[in-house]
Amino acid sequence: MRIRIPVLAGALALIAGLAPAAAQQVGPTIVVDVASGQVLQSDRGGTPWLPASLTKMMTTYVALRQVRAGRLSLDTGLVVSQRAFRSAPSKMGFRPGTVVTLDNALKMIMVKSANDVSVTIAEGVGGSVEAFAGMMNAEAQRLGMSGTRFINPNGLPGAGQQTTARDMALLARAMMREFPEQAQLWRIPAIRYGNRVMRNPNHLIGRYQGADGFKTGFTCASGFNVVATATRGGRQLIVVVLGATSARGRAETAAGLFERHFVSGGSGIGLDGIANDLSSGPPDIRDQTCRRRGPRGPVYIEAGEELDAEPVAAAHTADPGNLSYAQMMAQQQSRTARPGTRPTALAAMPGAVVSLLGPYRPSTDPVPVFIGSRAPATPPAGPALASAGNRAVTLPAAAPANVTVAPTPPAAAIAPAAGAIRGGAAPAAAIPVRHGAIAPTGAPMMLNGALPPERPATAPPRPAQRAAPATRQNRAANANRQTPRPAQRPQRPAAQP
């Protein structure tokens, strides 16, 4: 009986706990230098792929272009429609008729990846989802994204929607170069809506040194996608990873590509030198991404984008998306090591994990977002005195002739002065007043919450206090008071017998 060499090699690999080499590949990847546009590495960069929520990058780009053209502003109010309300998760869940500004809507789709808010943007900017998709495709064509076509603003599955790693890198670079003042949109660690805090599913933000963008995407058919940016030593790179089979796997793979190319050169070609494959469609990797073996057989896990603390799999796992970049490199090294050479410690230790992601340390607090056409009410910014009673007294803008403006005192000096007023020990001239407040010459100014000065003799009498409950003593005292008694009624004559 003959056993072919490739078959034998594959069987030995499975016995050793290692997957065949072909199974170790994730989807397409590309690395691009932002300043020069030079491609540092491309692995199937022009292969068609499903974009999932990476689509929202183009939604944001189109909206910002319309703002720059003066057709609307970031404060423009957008109304949630029935169609937006019926969108599939992930979403904010706003009721029809809710108004949200374009600025808040863009933050929600770039961090929360809210599908309903994406539809709201499309309808508010383009008039309808279909018209906005036409605007998206027009911008893609203008940028040279020849392998990309959009059918909706959120990336939910649909016939004809596709992109490539090369096109996504081109779009990210265009957004960074054309709208540097909006960089916060793609680097926000988290947003806060009321009491809800929603963290960015991009695991590089706050965990990888220098990470400063960009956007993630997930569907079972597309796998876990990420367009990531990072800056180190004055150099900024774009990394695109498509088709990873876990959220942690895509982040570790992207971090590994950053590590490699921050210290190496490139291929010497631009993005125009990467050809898009226009002869085939994107694959469906649902079975590799969402199929998990449960107690009753295989099941599909749909909510992959919500898996924030997904553990890294052991080194012998055949699923490349669950491996850290260091584990994949260790497996490759253990396969290619020459006979007689000593493997590295990492490759010799099955299950060892060397993650390139550190503990979560966000650079900023969650950014607040809100609904409505205006921000929540805030206290007026005019000249006012803070008070213990939580009130503010706004003073006139111009000082009369007989008043003077007091200089700004240190904060520590205000509290002792207020205490002195309560005790009646501080003279009127020693009362400090905040900058902009007006103190009449020779007259004391009362801080809100402090006790008032002594009343003058001509002050009106205080209102009568509430009567004390009746007791034996005060009843006797009341009896001694000379109070007018009501006139007695005339007595009736006695009845005659």
Active site residues: 53, 56, 113
**Residue 428 per-residue DSSP state:** G
Element housing 227 (H / E): strand 223-232
Instruction: List the beta bridge partners of residue 240.
Output: 30, 227
Q: DSSP 3-state assignment of 344?
A: coil
Compute CA 82 distance to the chain's CA centroid, rounded to the nearest angstrom. Answer: 25
How many H-runs (helices) and E-runs (strands) does the chain carry? 12, 17
Measuring CA to CA, which residue among 267, 29, 45 is closest to residue 146? 45
Backbone angles phi, psi at 384, to 5 degrees: -150, 160
Q: How many CB atoms lie within 10 A of CB 24?
A: 16
456, two tokens: 């003058």
Rg (CA), the chain: 36
Cβ-count burial 258-289 (b if 16+ within 10 Å, e if not): bbebbeeebeeeebeebebeeeeebbebeebb
Residue 77 bridge partners (DSSP): 101
Q: How many CB atoms lie within 10 A of CB 249?
A: 28
